[in-house]
Structure 1
């Protein structure tokens, strides 16, 4: 039987220039991906990995100015990224849809996986 992986929520992966910022205690981190119920952010330089199970409180600031206060528990680490499971309302579904549309309009090439393709064909 093939392995099936299904998520309960749609997850958005961000290209570098479109990444929202997670602001925590005066520090800013790039959000790599997010859904209504979770997000992953990238550590910088010598930032220590927060312990699994610890609580992170902060604000996600999206590129177009929208902000969402979040509280999440550290679920796991992926190299230099930290995965949070969000508590409470998380990120509103409408905002996730707006972000998806924004990325499709402005970063379609990234979303289709063609970012390394040479348009001149050389």
Structure 2
């Protein structure tokens, strides 16, 4: 059996103090089977749990088959990740070439989401070009409700993706 006592210390993290009375109560998936669990008996452990996230907005990652289409001047690109103020768009070097895109380029177009074929007009600025992705900071983006609907759609249609 174990006793967990959280102690609030400041606004940014929680210090967690844990005392293990008996190793038989520790779930097997938490400790390796090669490890002697009785070694943990009668020991105190401490951990720090952060309360704040580094990211300001929730980022939704898409499975390959469910990526939303982003249309720019009649050409379609697909989003790998989406948030309220950012998007990662997949580009292929062979067909698009990096000369078409450069850091600081303003882009706008229609993003067709999966949930109820919802379309959003988005615009933004390329802030980074990675291997085969453009990262845009959106000045006009998708609202949080649409992102939650997309997450629900992916969770229902591709349940194994979140597990």
What is the TM-score normalised by the length of structure 1?
Answer: 0.83
Residue 98 (1) aligns with residue 98 (2): no
> Which residue pairs with 2:108 in the alignment?
57
C-alpha displacement of 1:62: 1.1
In structure 2, distance between residues paired with 1:78 and 1:106:
29
* CA RMSD in angstroms, aligned pairs only: 1.7
Residues 1-122 of structure 1: pairs in structure 2 closer than 5 A: 6-44=54-92, 45-49=94-98, 50-63=101-114, 64-88=116-140, 90-112=141-163
In structure 1, distance between residues paired with 2:106 and 2:128:
12
Structure 1: give runs of 5+ residues left out of the alignment.
Answer: 113-122
What is the TM-score normalised by the length of structure 2?
Answer: 0.63
In structure 1, distance between residues paired with 2:143 and 2:77:
20
In structure 1, distance between residues paired with 2:55 and 2:159:
23
Greater fraction helix = 2
> Which residue pairs with 2:20 in the alignment?
none
- Asked which structure has the greater CA Rg, the reply is 2
In structure 2, distance between residues paired with 1:111 and 1:76:
27
In structure 1, distance between residues paired with 2:121 and 2:61:
20
C-alpha displacement of 1:5: 6.2
Greater fraction strand = 2
3-state SS of paired residue (1:87):
strand
Q: Tell me, yes or no, if the aligned pair for 2:102 and 2:129 is still in contact at 8 Å.
A: no
In structure 1, distance between residues paired with 2:133 and 2:77:
10
